[in-house]
Structures are given as C-alpha cells and as structure tokens.
Structure 1
Amino acid sequence: MSQRRKSSSSPKIKVDLDSSTEFCISLEKLEMDRSCRGVVVTSALPKIFSAGLDIMEMYGKSPERCGEFWKAVQEMWLKLYGSNMVTIAAINGSSPAGGCLMALTCDYRIMAENPRYGIGLNETQLGIRVGLWSVFGRRFKDTMVNTVGHRTTEMALELGLLYSAPDALRVGLVDQLVPEDKITKSMMRKPVIDKLLSSRESDIKNFVSFITKESIQKSLRMYMESLRKRKA
C-alpha cells in the first residue's frame, strides 16, 4: 500500500486575486511532486477557515480588474476540484460563501465541533443570487447539489443560510466533526469541470457585466456601510 503524504495549504482570511493565484501555484507544485498523494486545505488563523471572496475585489474596480479576479477564482476552483490528489478540507473556523465553496471542492470535509462556526453559500445576503448570472456561479450551486442534494441546496441558497457545525453535519455539508483542538493542520467531477472550461471567457464577461452594474455596486456599497455601522 502506497503512503499518502499530507501537505497543508493555508488560505488568507479573504479570497482575493493574490491569494487565489498563490493558492493555484502551491497546488500545482504539489501536483508535480509524485511523492505527494494528498493535500489538506486549512487555515493558519484560529476561528476562520476562510471569509470567502473579498468584496473589495468586486466593488469599485475596473472591468479589467474584475475580470482578472474572476479568472483567478475560476482557476482556483478548477485546480482544487479537478485535482488528482486526495483533498481534505480541515475547516477550523467559520467558512461563509467562497470559503464554503473551497471546502465543497474537496473530497472530504472535517469541521471543528464548535456550534459558533458557520458554513454556507450566503451570497443572497449581499443581494447576489447564486447561479442566476454566471456559468461559474451555477457551478457554485452544482457543487453544493452534488454534496447535499437539490432540495437542501435550494433552501440554503434562497435563504442565504449559514449552517452551524452540527447542522452542517446533519445535512451532509461536512462529513465529520472533531474537537476543535484535534482538527488537523497539516471523481464524478469531470463533466462539471468541462462545463466551466468550455465557457470560461464568456463567464468572465458575464461576471464583469453583472458585478459592475450600478444596482449590484449599490448593494455591495450598502452591505459594506452596514458592516461599518456594526463596527462603529
């Protein structure tokens, strides 16, 4: 029986252009290392696995910058979801939106047994409905459907739900809960990958067209203002 070496990759709190690019480079290096058969994706920061996509990459940016960012996020998903290595998400904190997507791309998800941590695709809280405006956005939905089923996904996306760790286990969003101090640091998917590969450029154009709309920029601005008020 061949051994599988685990390698850790620690995403930043938010997924931005730089962190997405860095993540892809790290994963490519591991793919090229024949002695590495598995990878553990986790966070070096306590209480937060990933805060998801960085809103500041989508608000007030030029169409060119938005396109560059979205292509990098596409690439991160493709690299992780299509990896020939065994991939495990060690979810050691909250994982909303894009953070949830990163976890869903892995073969197996282990989450810290802490009811205060939430995980889910909660984009509707930003006024953005997953899957209606983008081919890649629909891959968000498809990835979740493949994991928890259509009805649970439908409810989760429409309501922008964030599941607590116990509820995430109950619906099948994660596979296992472990005590927080024990969590490690360290196939049916090709058709879904092909769908994105065949339409990446048009998807980037659709994303740029959508995210730069005045109504969407207004929603993002209002959301950021509400966050600032909470901190005040």
Structure 2
Amino acid sequence: MMSLVSFAASRAARQLIHRRSLSKRYFSSYHEKILTDINPETGICKMTLNGGPANILDSEMLEAAVKAIKFAETSKEVRGIMLTSNFDGKVFCAGLNIMDLYQKSHEHVFNYWTRVQDWYLSWYGCSKPTVAAINGHAVAGGCAWTLMCDYRIMQAGTGRKIGLNETRLGLMAPFFLVDLITATLNHRPSELILLQGMLLESEDALKIGLVDDTANLDELAKKATKQLNSFMSIPPQAYSLTKLLLREKNLKKVPGIREEDAKNIADFVTSHKVQERLRKYISALKSRKEA
C-alpha cells in the first residue's frame, strides 16, 4: 500500500506536471498567430501577437483572437489577460488586412466583416480584466484592439504611433469604432482624431487619454502585470458585472444590425471610388518597400 509520504510526493508531482502543462498553450491552428502563456500562480494569461511582420488582422488572426479570448473567458485558471506583441519596439498591430478589402467580391468583404464584428464583441465583451502592453505601432484596427481592453500602457519614447487613420485611406470608421473611442475620450478629441486620421506618439496619446500610461520597453510587462493585479484584487463578480454594465449599451448595438452593418461596409468598400483609393495606397506601399 502506498505510504502517505509516497502519496503526497506523487500528488505533488502530478500538480507540478499540471502547472507546467498550463504554462504555455497555443489556441490558434493558424500558424500560431497568437501565443498564449498562462501563469498558474498569478492567473495572468499573456497573449502575444505573432502574425509577423505586422500582426495584420487577416481572417486567420481575427479567428485566432476570438478563440483565444473565449477560452480565457471560460478558463478557471485565467483571472486576467495581458495583450502584447512578439515584435518588441516595432509593431503591436497594424490593423485590418487591406488585401481582404481590395479587389474582393461583395460576399468576401461581407464575410470578412462578420469576423471583425465577432472580434469586437468577444474582446470588448470579455468580463475579465484586460490590459494592453503596447510595444510598437498600434494603427487603425490595432488601436481599436487596445481600446477594447480595460487599460492601455504604451512604450515610451518617439518612433511608435497609435491612432485611427481610416479616413486617410479613404475608409469610414465603423460605428463600433466610433463608440470605442468616444467611450474613451470626450467627443471633441474623438472627432478630431477620426476626421483627420490622426496618429500620435505615446506622450501625446497619454496627454489626451488615448493611453493610460507609458513605460520603457523593459518595464512595460512589469507595469501591465501590476495593473492587472490591481484589477484582479477586485472581487471578480463585482468587476465583471460593473464592466459589462458600462459597456452593455454599445455591445447591444451590433447583434441587432449585424447583417445590415456588414452589407453597408461591403457596399462601401467594393465601390469604385474606394477601390481606387485602396489601389493607390497599396501601390504607394509597394513603392516604399522597393525604394
């Protein structure tokens, strides 16, 4: 018969193996677009965007993002989520995939947009604490992703920008992106950013409240962890119910008009004028890469 000592040692070994098995999990079957690391001691789930070189929100990244946050939402081991990039000092996320909007059928754009809607609903509607550790450019959809989080800490210094530049590409901001930024800033600064397609460096973003804090790159994860710990010190039910109460009005808009919204976006994007603007933008990007 197994002794109490042997039993305790065996149990401890099983628990250690279990903890190690939790230490790294991959939720994307799409070339590991998102690397997910759960710390079983703190309950923090670190999600690292790994869709190089710019973490573009193509269909695979959008689906991986939804799967990852839904798993974290339902996992008993996860108490808080940190979102960051695998490309330190370069790119956090460069936004939606232009190639999913250019020279594509109405049906393709419609289906792509339903994935964008799912991404928004799952991340903005996550009941657990979420903190974005922004370690590179966060442009357009990349900025939107940070606005879905409960707190934003951006890498300090010059050279990295955050903002919503859709209008500069000839695109309109979707209504839920307008909701995201106006829920974060007052109406007037939101209006200026959206209408002018503004991109801001970290200090300017901090001044207007687009980000909540800045940190040097080597301190970014530490600050994000500290903020998550602060959020996680609040009783979970009180935190989640209050968070969803604050966001409920905006979240309820999408389900009722999903098809209409996707159709309107597809109509707009596939129009000749918008396609021509996208063609010029893509051509300019190619010229820059070749220079």
Q: Tell me the equivalent position of 1:193.
A: 251
- Provide Cα deviations, 1:130-150, integer angstroms capped at 9, x if missing partner: 2xxxxxx01101110111110
1:5 correspondence with 2:43: yes
Counterpart position of 1:182: 219
SS in 2 for 1:49: strand
2-side partners of 1:59 and 1:150: how far apart?
31
1:156 alignment partner in structure 2: 193
CA distance in 2, matches of 1:128, 1:25: 28
Q: CA deviation at 1:114?
A: 2.2
Encode CA deviations 1:89-132: one digit per residue, 9 max, x unaligned: 110001010000000010000111122110001111101132xx
Amino acid paired to 2:282: M
Calculate percent identity across the aligned residue pairs.
Answer: 36
How far the C-alpha of 1:73 sits from its partner, in A, is 1.0
Counterpart Cα distance in 2 of 1:74 and 1:129: 15
1:14 to 43, 56, 64: 56
Q: Deviations over 1:147-182 (max 9, x none)?
A: 111000111111110010000000000001011122
> Could you say which structure has the greater relative contact order, defined with CA pairs below 8 angstroms and 6 or more residues apart?
1
The size of the alignment, in residue pairs, is: 224
Which is greater in Rg?
A: 2
State the match for 1:228 in structure 2: 286
Among 273, 285, 291, the alignment partner of 1:215 is 273
Q: What is the CA–CA distance in structure 1 between the aligned matches of 2:128 and 2:158, rounded to whole Å?
A: 30
In the alignment, the residues of structure 2 paired with residue 65 and residue 17 of structure 1 have an alpha-carbon distance, to the nearest angstrom, of 11
Aligned to 1:100: 143
Flag structure 2 segments of 5+ consecutive residues without an equivalent.
Answer: 1-40, 226-242
Report if the CA contact (8 A) 1:129-1:158 is conserved. Answer: no
Q: Give the distance between the partners of 1:157 and 1:139, measured in 2 at CA.
A: 13
1:7 alignment partner AA: C
Q: TM-score, normalised by structure 1?
A: 0.93
In angstroms, what is the RMSD of aligned CA positions?
Answer: 1.4
Q: Which residue in the other structure is 1:27 paired with?
A: 69
Residue among 263, 274, 279 paired with 1:205: 263
Q: CA deviation at 1:4?
A: 5.6
Query: How many Å separate the matches in 2 of 1:57 and 1:45?
Result: 23
Contact 1:114 1:180 (8 Å CA) reproduced:
no
Structure 1 runs (4+) greater than 6 angstroms displaced: none
Name structure 1 gaps, 5 residues minimum.
131-136
**C-alpha separation between the residues in 1 aligned to 2:144 and 2:195?**
16
